[in-house]
Structure formats: C-alpha cells, structure tokens
Amino acid sequence: MAHLIDSELLAAEHGELTPGATAQVRSHLERCGLCSERFERLRGEQRDIGGLLDVLTFPVPSVSLDTIRRRARRPRRLVRAAAAIGTLVALASAAAAMPRSPVRAWLARIWAVAPEAAPATPRVADPISPTAGIAVSASAGVTIELLHGQEGGLIQVILADRPDVTARAVGGDVGYRVGRERIVMDNRTPAKQYEIELPRRIPEATVRVGGRVLWRLSDGREPFGNDTVRISLSLQRGRVP
Amino acid sequence: MGLGRQFEAEFIRLFRDRFAGLFQYLARLTGDVDTASDLAQDAFIQLYQRGDLPNDLGPWLVTVAHNRWRDQQRSQQRRLRLLDAHPGSVPAPTAGDGADVMVEAAERRARVQAVLERLPEREKQLLLLHHSGYSYREIALILPIAETSVGTLLRRAGAAFRQAYEDSHGTPD
C-alpha cells in the first residue's frame, strides 16, 4: 500500500482536495495507521502555527468609502492635465520641425526672454526668521511632510477659521517646499516645534515624518478637544489627544 | 468618464467585504498598521480607478499592495520595522485588559513578528496568505508559483517558522 505524502495530507487538512480525492484520503487514513499518525501530527503542527499567527490580529482602521473615491479621482485629473501638456508639447515640436516653420523663431524668442519676463518662483523658501513659515491653499486635503525623523520635538496642529493651510517651524533651520496639496519641510536641521494650522473644514490632512504617517485627520475625524492636537515627536507614532 | 452604477455597487460591496481581510494580511506582512492601512487603501483606489473588476479580485488586490510595498521599500530605503523595535506601533489592546495581559500580548506579538521576519520573504507571504484565508489557487496566482507546489512549499514554510520560533522561544504554548 503506497503511503500518502505530506502535501496530500496537508491539502486534505486545508480542504483543498476535490470531494473524490478527500474521500480517497479519508479511506486510506482509516486503513493505514502510519499515515493516520502522520496526519494527526501534521494537524497538531498546523494548530500550533495557526495559534501563533492568530496573535497577529490588529484593529481594523475606519476608512470611509468617500475617502477612497476622493483619492481615486485626484490622480485622474493630474493624468488628464499631463496628457494635455504632452499633446501641446508634441504639437509645438511637430510644428517647429517643419521646414521654414516660424515656430522655431518664436520658441527661440520666448526662450531668450523667458528668464527675464518670468523669473522662476522659488520653490524652496528659506525661512527669513526663526518662525517663518509657508501657506498653501488646499481645500480638498493636504499632506504636511517632515522629510527626516527626529528624536524630540513637538508638532502642534490647530484648526483655525482660515482658508489656507500654514506650516512653520519654530527655531531650527527648516526649508520649505510646496506642491499640490502638499507642504514639505526639510528638517535636516530640526526645529523643536512645528505649528500647522488647518482650515476648520478641511476634509483630509496627513502629517508624515521621515516617510511614515504620524497623524491623520480624515472624514471619520479624530476629535479635536479644543481645536488643538499636540503630537510628540519623541513618541514617533504617538497620537496625543 | 462616468463609472457604471453596477461597478459602483459592486465596489461598495467588495470594499466592505474585503478591506478588513486585506488590511489584516498586510499588517502581518509589514508589521506596521499605518503602512498596512495605506497599502490596502491604495489597492482599493487602484481598483476604483480601473473601473471594472479583474477576474481574480483577491489576488489582484494583494498583488497591487505587494507592488506598492516593494516600491515604498525601494524608494524610501526603509526597512521592515519590527514591532518590538518600535513598541509604540503595537496597537493598543482593548480596554478592560489588565496591564499584565496587555504587556504579555504585545510581547507575544513582537516575538511572532520577529520570527516571521527571519523567514525568506516568499515563505513569509505564503504562510500569511494561507493564514489569512487565501486558497492554494489564489496563493499560486499571487506569488506566482505552480498551484501544485503550494502544499509542499506551505509545509516547508510552516516547518521553518515553527522551528525558528522553537529555537528562540521554546515550544509554542
């Protein structure tokens, strides 16, 4: 009588066999003491493994469908904008490539005057004082990101009756960069305190530090006691009500 | 571009049915509940943007989350953070537990997570996928491996996990 192999026994235990194959395994186990013993040992091992892994059960976060929908729609707008810009660039390139095209001359003229006509807006604003900060308009949501993790310090988040989001570092030598619904603070030389003001009605806000989400405000809002939340950076993951 | 009503209704149902399971798997895999929540949300966002349902939804969602997780690891050069390295990331035990029970539960979680981290990534994924209720066929699609090999590999991964746990902490209770 050929004995069953471990993977067959395991598949039977996991309910992965067809009804016919399951019946065959069962019938074999009734007749074969050796396989039956191995099967029981295997089941015991599986119970042990399952018991250990059961320890890793986590409370499921409350995520609203609206949050998923809103975040899903954002990139589509960006893709459409990028496609439109790409089409324009392609058309301009094609026009410039045509023999005796005036487009080349126009582009050369624009290129020549552009730096004077439209000085680039600095994307990184060096703080002009120890408490300088930056503000962006963000009605749909905002992410405030401190690029580097730091051992100590405090982030104070305040809900305010104002239309824009502001972020500032108190002390330190922090650089700022803004993007679409995003403020990035380069805290290589860290500040002891950061202050973030959010419009009261903002639907979503996230604070990330060193690449990890430290705090999040979403539709299922965390209660703001007196409109202020203090997040200790020494806790790294702390959510202090 | 309007999404069909049928897809919308189906999406709502799937989100309610599957978000928690996907999150649990990812939390076990990454050892970080915030990362797991982000990855699970990203997978559903990608499904919503896709606008129709893939044939094998479960494996599709996990594959999207795996890819995101790999991207994150690459771009930010982050290492998997073990729960015992950051006690603050251990989720708060439910109210009513005694302090001893809470500490013990957190320690036990950290122990199991640390042992899992010692396994090769594929063995870890195999064990966790199976424990999270994915079938052999789904596991084979996700990893990807031959469906006929899943049982053998699972047996091997389980034995390695159990052995690593026993080496460090003795026989499981």
Task: Encode pLDDT of B34-64 as tens digits.
Answer: 999 999 999 999 999 998 899 999 999 999 9
Distance of CA A114 to the CA centre of its chain: 36
What percentage of chain B reaches a pLDDT higher than 90? 63
pLDDT recorded at residue B35:
92
- Give phi and psi for A198, each to the nearest 5: -115, 145
Closest CA to A10 of B119, B135, B154: B154
pLDDT recorded at residue B89:
47
Residue B77 in this model has a pLDDT that exceeds 60: no
Q: Do A72 and B48 touch (CB under 8 A)?
A: yes
d(CA B68, CA B64): 6
Residue, of B146 and A83, whose pLDDT is higher: B146
Closest CA to A153 of A87, A207, A115, A99: A207
Q: Is A50 left (phi over 0), alpha (psi -120 to 50) or beta?
A: alpha
Q: How confident is the model at residue B16 (pLDDT cuts 50, 70, 90)?
A: very high
Letter for the amino acid at B105?
A
DSSP-derived secondary structure letter, A163: S
Q: What is the pTM of this model?
A: 0.57
Which of chain B's residues have a Cβ under 8 Å away from the Cβ of A212?
A: 32, 34-35
Contact B42, B50 (CB under 8 A): no
CA Rg value for chain B: 18
- Give me A72's structure tokens: 């899903």
Letter for the amino acid at A95?
A
Residue B100 in this model has a pLDDT that exceeds 70: no
Which of chain A's residues have a Cβ under 8 Å away from the Cβ of B127?
A: 49, 53
Which of chain B's residues have a Cβ under 8 Å away from the Cβ of A50?
A: 131
Closest CA to B142 of B171, B132, A195: B132
What is the crossing angle of helices B5-30 and B33-50, to 10°?
150
Beta strands across the sheet bearing A124-125: A124-125, A173-179, A182-189, A142-146, A205-209, A212-217
* 3-state SS assignment for residue A105: helix
Q: Do B49 and A211 touch (CB under 8 A)?
A: no
pLDDT recorded at residue A82:
79
Residue with the two structure tokens 């403020």: A183
CA dihedral B62, B64, B69, B70 (to 10 degrees): 110
Q: How confident is the model at residue B98 (pLDDT cuts 50, 70, 90)?
A: low
Contact A173, A127 (CB under 8 A): yes
pLDDT recorded at residue B138:
96
- Give me A165's structure tokens: 């989001």
Name the stretches of chain A with pLDDT < 70: 1, 75-78, 109-132, 219-226, 234-241
Q: How far is B138 from chain A (nearest CA, A)?
A: 12
Residue B80 in this model has a pLDDT that exceeds 50: no
Distance of CA A53 to the CA centre of its chain: 27
Residue B172 in this model has a pLDDT that exceeds 90: no
Q: How far is B155 from chain A (nearest CA, A)?
A: 7
Partner residue facing A65 (CB), from B12, B38, B172: B12
d(CA B57, CA B145): 18
DSSP-derived secondary structure letter, A153: -
* Longest Cα separation, chain A: 92
d(CA A42, CA A13): 9
| Per-residue b or e along A125-152, where b marks 16 or more CB atoms closer than 10 Å to that residue's CB | eebeeeeebbbbebeebbbbbbbeebee
Q: How confident is the model at residue B84 (pLDDT cuts 50, 70, 90)?
A: very low
d(CA A64, CA A203): 12
Residue B101 in this model has a pLDDT that exceeds 90: no
Contact B145, B151 (CB under 8 A): no
Residue A143's DSSP bridge partners are A182, A206
pLDDT recorded at residue A155:
87
d(CA A165, CA A181): 9
Which of chain B's residues have a Cβ under 8 Å away from the Cβ of A78?
A: none
pLDDT recorded at residue B95:
47
pLDDT recorded at residue A2:
87
Q: Is A153 left (phi over 0), alpha (psi -120 to 50) or beta?
A: left
| Total Cβ atoms within 10 A of residue A109 | 10
pLDDT recorded at residue A85:
85
Q: How far is B59 from chain A (nearest CA, A)?
A: 17
Chain A's closest residue to B89, CA to CA, is A237
- Give phi and psi for A7, each to the nearest 5: -65, -30
